[in-house]
Amino acid sequence: MTSLVRPRVDVAAARDLAEALLADLPQRWAHTAGVARRAAELCAAMDAADRDRVVTAAWLHDIGYAEPVRDTGFHPLDGARFLRRSGWTARISALVAHHSGACYVAEVRGLHHELAEFPRELSPVADALTYADQTVGPDGARVDVRARMAEMLARHGAASDNARVHHLRAPDILAAAERVEHRLRLAALAA
């Protein structure tokens, strides 16, 4: 019998799990694959463990959209809870819970306490996951972070939860983007 305990970061298992769960959501799968590719490109300034961690989290970040995983309907929380009960590490679950400023949307949805089951990590890994997600569009293509947020607002609508917290979430995402781009410049200088 396959053990559910997976006490380590596992890029290949993350990819396989995401592919299986998102099989009925081809656009979400295309986006996820693009985010994982982007995350791998951002690893220049990270040590090996963090590289695998961010790419693993990238493969798993949107599994909360999959029907077998959906519960509250808030995909970062549903994905994180699924990963926790499936034996993924606490850090991977928490990175998924908090990707791309999820805490702001959780607040407006009344899910703040539920999301607080997972500690929010402030780190180069968390920044890179958010940056990768916010620089890859719904179809998996690379986009500018501001263009991505504008597209997201147009897609969700002006009355959406995302739009209601945009004034809080956008500066957080842009700050993460600046930190990532700064780290990439430093890594390029050091190369």
The nearest distance, CB 61 to Fe ion, in angstroms, is 5
Residue 55 burial (10 A CB sphere; 0-12, 13-18, 19+): buried
Q: Which candidate, 154, 167, 57, places its Cα nearest to that of 108? A: 167
**Shortest distance, CB of residue 62 to Fe ion, whole angstroms?**
4
Nearest distance from C-beta of residue 162 to Fe ion, angstroms: 12
133 lines the binding site for Fe ion (CB under 5 A):
yes
What phi-psi label fits residue 113: left (phi over 0), alpha (psi between -120 and 50 degrees) or beta?
alpha
Quick one: which segment of 48-56, 66-74, 128-136, 141-149 binds Fe ion (CB under 5 A)? 128-136
Q: Round to whole Å and give the CA distance between 172 and 127.
A: 10
Residue closer to Fe ion (CB basis): 52 or 133 = 133
Residues 54-113 that bind Fe ion (CB under 5 A): 62
Stretch that binds Fe ion, among 17-25, 79-87, 126-134, 145-153 (CB under 5 A): 126-134
Task: Give whichever of 62 and 114 is closer to Fe ion, judged by the CB atom.
Answer: 62
The two tokens of residue 74 are: 């808030």
Nearer to Fe ion, 76 or 124 (CB): 76
Instruction: Tell me if 127 sits within 8 A of 180, measured CB to CB.
Output: yes
Number of residues counted as binding Fe ion (CB under 5 A) = 2
The full length of the chain comes to 191
Binding residues for Fe ion (CB under 5 A): 62, 133
